[in-house]
Amino acid sequence: MGKYSYAIYVMQWIVQEVIANGNLLASTKIYSSFRINYPIIEYVFSFILIIVFGIISYYLWDKPLNKYLTKKFIK
43-46-50 Cα angle (round to 5): 135
Look at residues 44, 26, 45 and name the one whose alpha carbon lies nearest to residue 36: 26
Mean pLDDT value of segment 15-43: 71
Whether pTM > 0.85 for this model: the answer is no
Distance CA 16, CA 9 (A): 11
Residue 25: band (very low, low, confident or very high) from pLDDT cuts 50, 70, 90: low
